[in-house]
């Protein structure tokens, strides 16, 4: 055979392989699509606070069309008297009803049909055609109801009705949102099918050469006879078949069977935070050669341990967990789940170098976990903020006894195939931790987890179990912290996790010689983006004590964006990172918080309504400290200067630079050198102090005498023009996708105006799309997030446009008094 024909043969064989792999995976995809369809469209909604819990809806005449995921609270006015209080961002809850009509084709009569809710906040109750299906108090866990027995088929419509009771307030320490705020699905399967969360995939042995993959499948038989079938599990990598396993099975009528299959992957591609490689397992049930059910599971292959001396080891290499805590709200979009909005948050975190997410303090949206798998985050999946003892009057403490077991089991079953999850947290700052009861519950919860998953570590975000001697440090719960922490000593936890008390981290090996450590929550620094107090090198503790009313602070409820303000229980950003960085045995930390969130406006209360803790503000704009972390956690060259350069003549101003990949930074004011500075020892920034003079401030970073980066900030004149920048100008015409458009306010020469707070009005001139949110990151702002206009905060605001369903282009205009209207065109594809 000559070379050309040999080449042709190879190509031919490769093509056959390629097309058969594609074909089989395409076939599976279409079965999967029809198995679980999105059920978000066509809902009607009614909010009626006057209805008593036992009222029926027969007297409701006014229904509003809504699309779920839907959060009714986010569109409400901020109200100082709202019973949700500062925790709930002063927005209101209430009692809401949802209904939807749908038809089911005659040919589905022999199928099993279920409705799946990913999360409803809270106390949902569901009916189909007047049959009561059940209730679910927990607002964060997903659940499904089998609706097969109650359905009409053919032309007779069905009605589903959902009652959501978020009326009793307060029931949360942060903004929860209200309503069917996560996705809804309709699941249609054969009556012999893979159960709910019906696969469990683990990798008991992993090496470079080979990975053992154990797949446990639960098959339910809801038919009236015993069933014989073939169970096939096939592992795919990027659409290509890797390996497959087949078993003959018999399942008794009305029962289920768990089947274990062991497969092998040679030369596995390992999942890591930098290389998040994923495999897919496709489970098929075949009867007489015909596939009657297909179920897909994404999983990863990775080996890890928490070493007493070296910290977190992933695939044989130490990896420091550089994590952030996130609440579930999406800023101005509220709690309503949107995959792109979550992805944007995670992209912004990745860009800063973050490699870990803690889902504070509840089961997250499934979409967040899928994105963490795909993007490479080390997740601590948290279950509860409350056990038996409530923190707010109407919270989950009231449901604990009846529901905690089911809720925790469901979370583990739902989440245990995610490659990104490494730790289960059974609770956050649980009041019972100080008592024997806390130890008892801790052991009970740990057992619930371990009966379902032994491949991750169980932890709890405790309050510091170690008393801090240094009296300058005022701890939250200081009085009780002097007692031994019963949960820490209960044997329930595989890894000691506690919040704050960074002063004790370096004694960890002495205090807990046999248990590894994770700082479950740290820092709680406070900042308003773009606002600065001088001098910058004095630390402010705001509030002075956690349990004292805060009377200090700035009259306009701002907080300096220099890393100089912290809570009494927390630390400055630099302080905790230095300790974590210095000690290998500290596996890592989760900073409170990556993003600002709605509610908990510590140190202030009204008119502040959202947090100051974020490294990034509520609109998604980074605060300055973002660049400290970026300079430490990424290889990308960083030179970030703060503050802005618009001050009073002669005023003493501190200038900080965060930088990396360089030996020194030189600062110039109007071309005059103010000297070269170098970070010494553990320093994370350099600083100059100088009297303000208008003009150009310039910084140059150098390595070995060569310029690495240059940065310039100019004193800006009056606001004169708007600049619009979209994170993406092409989005999907799917009624879901979003474009986040930043408005920067510039002077006539194009300099950013760092103090501008002009009102900007938006309109969508053409095509199909919707303005779904506006924001500026100001925790005190009371303009509606759902409006079509917003003031800027320190030169910036944000507008979010959601795509319609028709392809083409849409044009967004932004107008502000005295300035020319600017437009930006988005393509919908
Ligand atoms: C922690 C708590 C968080 C948040 C934070 C604010 O104690 O776990 O939920 O309240 O304080 O600093």
Higher pLDDT, 545 or 30: 545
Distance CA 612, CA 597 (A): 8
DSSP 769: E
The CATH number of the domain holding residue 120 is 2.60.120.260
Average confidence (pLDDT) over 354-362: 98
| Residues 811, 817, 821: CA angle, nearest 5 degrees | 25
Q: Is 498 in the pocket of ligand 1 (CB under 6 A)?
A: no
Instruction: Give the structural domain span for 331.
Output: 308-527+563-596
Distance CA 543, CA 368 (A): 33
Kindly provide the residue ranges of all beta strands, DSSP E only, lying in 384-516, ordered along the sequence. 421-428, 457-461, 496-499
Distance CA 178, CA 322 (A): 32
Distance CA 639, CA 656 (A): 10
Examine the domain organization and report whether 252 and 103 are in the same domain.
Answer: no
In this prediction, residue 472 has a pLDDT band, given cuts at 50, 70 and 90, of very low
Domain count, the chain: 4
Residue where one domain finishes, among candidates 248, 266, 299: 299
The CATH number of the domain holding residue 202 is 2.60.40.10
Pairing of strands 586-592, 321-326: parallel
Q: Is 611 in the pocket of ligand 1 (CB under 6 A)?
A: no
Examine the domain organization and report whether 350 and 209 are in the same domain.
Answer: no
Q: Is residue 639 part of a domain?
A: no
Report which protein residue has its CA nearest ligand 1's atom 3. Answer: 592
Distance 360 CA to ligand 1 centre (A): 9
Q: Which atom of ligand 1 is nearest to the CA of 360?
A: 9
Q: Which atom of ligand 1 is nearest to the CA of 428?
A: 8
Pairing of strands 706-714, 796-803: unpaired
Helix (H) / strand (E) element for 24: namely helix 3-35
Poorest-pLDDT segment among 302-316, 453-467, 516-530, 723-737: 453-467
pLDDT at 673: 98
pLDDT at 573: 98
pLDDT in tens, 382-433: 999 999 999 999 999 999 999 999 999 999 999 999 999 999 999 999 999 9
Q: On the CB side of 291, how many CA atoms lie within 13 Å of its CA?
A: 17
Distance 525 CA to ligand 1 centre (A): 11
pLDDT at 33: 58
Token representation of residue 589 = 């930390």
Examine the domain organization and report whether 201 and 184 are in the same domain.
Answer: no
In this prediction, residue 467 has a pLDDT band, given cuts at 50, 70 and 90, of low
Average confidence (pLDDT) over 707-735: 98
pLDDT at 62: 87
CA 692 vs CA 232, 528, 564, 695: distances in Å: 72, 22, 21, 9
pLDDT in tens, 15-40: 333 333 333 443 444 545 589 999 99
In this prediction, residue 50 has a pLDDT band, given cuts at 50, 70 and 90, of low
SS3 for 191? coil
Residue where one domain finishes, among candidates 154, 189, 224: 189
pLDDT at 61: 75
Token representation of residue 535 = 């001098």
Token representation of residue 685 = 């920034």
Examine the domain organization and report whether 395 and 407 are in the same domain.
Answer: yes
The CATH number of the domain holding residue 584 is 3.20.20.80
Using an 8 Å Cβ cutoff, are 476 and 442 in contact? Answer: no
In this prediction, residue 4 has a pLDDT band, given cuts at 50, 70 and 90, of very low
Average confidence (pLDDT) over 791-810: 97
Q: Is residue 608 part of a domain?
A: no
Report which protein residue has its CA nearest ligand 1's atom 12. Answer: 524
Using an 8 Å Cβ cutoff, are 243 and 263 in contact? Answer: yes
Q: Is 392 in the pocket of ligand 1 (CB under 6 A)?
A: no
pLDDT at 2: 40
- Distance linking the first and last C-alpha atoms of the chain: 48
Q: Is residue 447 part of a domain?
A: yes
Catalytic residue status for 521 = yes
In this prediction, residue 468 has a pLDDT band, given cuts at 50, 70 and 90, of low
Which of 85, 141, 137, 93 lies closest to 116 in space, CA to CA? 141
Q: Is 521 in the pocket of ligand 1 (CB under 6 A)?
A: yes
Examine the domain organization and report whether 214 and 178 are in the same domain.
Answer: no
Mean pLDDT of the chain: 93
Distance 523 CA to ligand 1 centre (A): 10
Q: Is residue 179 part of a domain?
A: yes
In this prediction, residue 148 has a pLDDT band, given cuts at 50, 70 and 90, of very high
Report which protein residue has its CA nearest ligand 1's atom 6. Answer: 524
Average confidence (pLDDT) over 685-700: 98
How many CB atoms are closer than 10 A to CB 811? 14
pLDDT at 465: 82
Q: Is residue 111 part of a domain?
A: yes
One of 429, 478, 574, 600 is an active-site residue; which one? 429
- Tokens 């907080």 map to which residue? 559
pLDDT at 771: 97
Average confidence (pLDDT) over 735-759: 98
Q: Is 524 in the pocket of ligand 1 (CB under 6 A)?
A: yes
Instruction: Report the sign of the C-alpha dihedral through residues 107, 225, 195, 130, in that order.
Output: positive
Which of 535, 800, 298 lies closest to 790 in space, CA to CA? 800
Using an 8 Å Cβ cutoff, are 304 and 422 in contact? Answer: yes
Examine the domain organization and report whether 345 and 492 are in the same domain.
Answer: yes
Which of 515, 464, 415 lies closest to 200 in space, CA to CA? 415
Instruction: Report the sign of the C-alpha dihedral through residues 508, 514, 517, 520, in that order.
Output: negative
Residue 801 has pLDDT above 80, yes or no: yes
| Residues 466, 469, 474: CA angle, nearest 5 degrees | 85
pLDDT in tens, 154-180: 999 999 999 999 999 999 999 999 999
Distance CA 337, CA 623 (A): 24
Token representation of residue 579 = 């300790």
Residue 484 has pLDDT above 90, yes or no: no
Distance CA 773, CA 733 (A): 18
In this prediction, residue 58 has a pLDDT band, given cuts at 50, 70 and 90, of low
Residue where one domain finishes, among candidates 299, 328, 358: 299
Q: Which atom of ligand 1 is nearest to the CA of 600?
A: 10
How many CB atoms are closer than 10 A to CB 272? 19
Examine the domain organization and report whether 128 and 147 are in the same domain.
Answer: yes
Distance 431 CA to ligand 1 centre (A): 13
Distance CA 345, CA 330 (A): 8
Q: Is residue 182 part of a domain?
A: yes
Distance 772 CA to ligand 1 centre (A): 29
Q: Is residue 4 part of a domain?
A: no
Token representation of residue 663 = 């030996």
Examine the domain organization and report whether 337 and 278 are in the same domain.
Answer: no
Which of 652, 648, 503 lies closest to 578 in space, CA to CA? 503
pLDDT at 55: 55
Examine the domain organization and report whether 88 and 199 are in the same domain.
Answer: no
Residues 375-392 as b or e (16 or more Cβ within 10 Å = b): bbbbbbbbbbbbbbeebb
Average confidence (pLDDT) over 636-647: 98
Examine the domain organization and report whether 230 and 163 are in the same domain.
Answer: no
Distance CA 126, CA 463 (A): 38
Distance CA 243, CA 14 (A): 18
pLDDT at 27: 44
- Tokens 């995610």 map to which residue? 418
Residue 516 has pLDDT above 60, yes or no: yes
Examine the domain organization and report whether 586 and 490 are in the same domain.
Answer: yes
Q: Is 172 in the pocket of ligand 1 (CB under 6 A)?
A: no
Q: Is residue 793 part of a domain?
A: yes
Which of 796, 531, 758 lies closest to 644 in space, CA to CA? 531
Instruction: Report the sign of the C-alpha dihedral through residues 687, 688, 689, 695, in that order.
Output: negative
Examine the domain organization and report whether 355 and 462 are in the same domain.
Answer: yes
- Tokens 């308003």 map to which residue? 528
Q: Is 429 in the pocket of ligand 1 (CB under 6 A)?
A: yes
Distance 71 CA to ligand 1 centre (A): 24
Distance CA 601, CA 90 (A): 10
Average confidence (pLDDT) over 760-787: 95
Q: Which atom of ligand 1 is nearest to the CA of 361?
A: 9
pLDDT at 91: 97
Kindly give the interhelix angle for 366-375 and 339-352, rounded to the nearest 10 degrees. 40
Residue 474 has pLDDT above 60, yes or no: no
Burial label for 548, CB within 10 Å (0-12, 13-18, 19+), is: exposed
Q: What is the pTM of this model?
A: 0.94
Distance 590 CA to ligand 1 centre (A): 12
pLDDT at 28: 47
Which of 169, 201, 194, 180 lies closest to 89 in space, CA to CA? 169
Question: What is the 3 state secondary structure string of 462-478?
Answer: ECCCCCCCCCCCCCCCH
One of 222, 521, 600, 632 is an active-site residue; which one? 521
Catalytic residue status for 80 = no
């Amino acid at each position: 055979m000559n070379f050309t024909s040999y080449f042709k043969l190879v190509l031919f064989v490769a093509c056959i392989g390629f097309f058969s792999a594609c074909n089989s995976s395409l076939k599976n995809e279409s079965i999967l699509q029809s198995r679980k369809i999105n059920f978000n469209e066509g809902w009607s909604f009614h909010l009626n606070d006057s209805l008593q819990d036992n009222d029926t809806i027969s007297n409701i005449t006014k229904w509003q069309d809504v699309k779920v995921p839907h959060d009714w609270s986010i569109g409400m006015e901020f109200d100082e008297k709202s019973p949700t209080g500062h925790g709930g961002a002063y927005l209101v809850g209430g009692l809401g009803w949802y209904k939807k009509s749908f038809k089911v084709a005659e040919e589905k009569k022999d199928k099993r049909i279920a409705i799946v809710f990913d999360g409803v906040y809270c106390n949902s109750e569901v009916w189909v055609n007047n049959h009561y299906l059940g209730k679910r108090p927990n607002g964060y866990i997903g659940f499904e109801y089998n609706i097969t027995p109650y359905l009409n088929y053919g032309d007779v419509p069905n009605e589903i009705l959902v009652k959501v009771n978020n009326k009793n307030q307060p029931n949360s320490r942060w903004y929860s949102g209200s309503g069917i705020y996560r996705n809804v699905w309709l699941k249609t399967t054969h009556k012999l099918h893979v159960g709910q969360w019906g696969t469990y995939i683990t990798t008991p042995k992993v090496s470079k050469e080979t990975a053992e993959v154990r797949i446990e499948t639960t098959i339910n038989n809801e038919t009236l006879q015993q069933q014989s079938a073939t169970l096939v599990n096939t592992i795919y990598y990027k659409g290509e078949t890797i390996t497959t396993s087949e078993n003959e099975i018999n399942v008794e009528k009305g029962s289920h069977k768990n089947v274990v299959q062991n497969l092998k992957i040679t030369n596995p591609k390992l999942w890591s935070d930098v290389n998040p490689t994923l495999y897919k397992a496709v489970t098929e049930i075949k009867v007489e050669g015909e596939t009657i059910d297909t179920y897909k599971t994404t999983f990863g292959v990775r080996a890890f341990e928490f070493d007493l001396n070296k910290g977190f080891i992933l695939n044989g290499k130490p990896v420091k967990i550089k994590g952030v805590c996130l609440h579930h709200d999406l800023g101005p979009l509220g709690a309503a789940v949107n995959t792109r909005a979550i992805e944007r948050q995670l992209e912004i975190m990745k860009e800063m170098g973050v490699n870990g997410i803690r889902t504070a303090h509840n089961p997250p949206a499934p979409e967040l976990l899928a994105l963490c798998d795909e993007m490479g985050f080390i997740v601590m999946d948290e279950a509860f903020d409350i056990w038996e003892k409530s923190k707010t009057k109407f919270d989950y403490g009231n449901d604990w006894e009846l529901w905690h077991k089911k809720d925790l089991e469901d979370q583990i079953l739902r989440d245990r195939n995610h490659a990104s999850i490494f730790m289960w947290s059974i609770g956050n700052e649980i009041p019972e931790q100080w008592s024997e009861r806390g130890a008892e519950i801790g052991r009970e919860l740990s057992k619930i987890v371990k009966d379902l998953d032994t491949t991750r570590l169980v932890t709890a975000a405790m309050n510091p179990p170690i008393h801090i001697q240094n009296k300058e440090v005022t701890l939250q719960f200081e009085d009780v912290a002097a007692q031994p922490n019963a949960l820490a000593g209960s044997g329930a936890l595989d890894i000691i996790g506690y919040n704050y008390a960074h002063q004790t981290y370096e004694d960890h090996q002495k205090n807990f010689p046999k248990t590894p450590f994770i700082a479950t929550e740290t820092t709680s620094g406070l900042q308003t983006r773009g606002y600065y107090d001088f001098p910058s090198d004095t630390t402010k503790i705001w509030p002075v004590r956690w349990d004292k009313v805060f009377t200090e602070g700035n009259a306009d409820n701002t907080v300096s964006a220099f890393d100089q303000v912290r809570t009494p229980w927390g630390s400055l950003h630099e302080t905790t990172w230095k300790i974590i960085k210095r000690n290998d045995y500290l596996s890592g930390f989760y900073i409170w918080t990556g993003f600002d969130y709605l509610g908990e406006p510590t140190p202030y209360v009204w008119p502040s309504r959202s947090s100051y803790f974020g490294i990034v503000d509520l609109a998604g704009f980074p605060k300055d400290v973002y660049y400290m972390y970026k300079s430490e956690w990424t290889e990308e060259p960083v030179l970030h200067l703060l503050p802005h350069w618009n001050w009073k003549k002669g005023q003493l101003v501190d200038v900080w630079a965060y930088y990396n990949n360089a030996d020194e930074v030189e600062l110039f004011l109007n071309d005059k050198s103010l000297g070269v500075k170098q970070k010494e020892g553990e320093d994370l920034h350099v600083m100059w102090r100088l009297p303000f003079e208008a003009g150009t401030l310039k910084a140059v970073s150098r390595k070995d005498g060569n310029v690495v980066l240059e940065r310039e900030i100019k004193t800006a004149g009056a606001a004169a023009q708007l600049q619009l920048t979209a994170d993406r100008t092409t989005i999907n015409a799917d009624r879901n996708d979003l474009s986040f458009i930043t408005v920067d306010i510039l002077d006539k020469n194009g300099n950013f105006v760092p103090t501008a707070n002009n009102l900007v009005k938006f309109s969508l001139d053409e095509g199909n799309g919707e303005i779904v949110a506006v924001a500026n990151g100001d925790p005190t702002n009371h303009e509606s997030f759902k409006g079509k206009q917003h003031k800027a905060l320190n030169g910036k605001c944000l507008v979010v446009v959601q795509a319609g369903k028709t392809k083409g282009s849409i044009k967004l205009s932004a107008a502000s008094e005295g300035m020319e209207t600017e437009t930006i065109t988005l393509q919908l594809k």
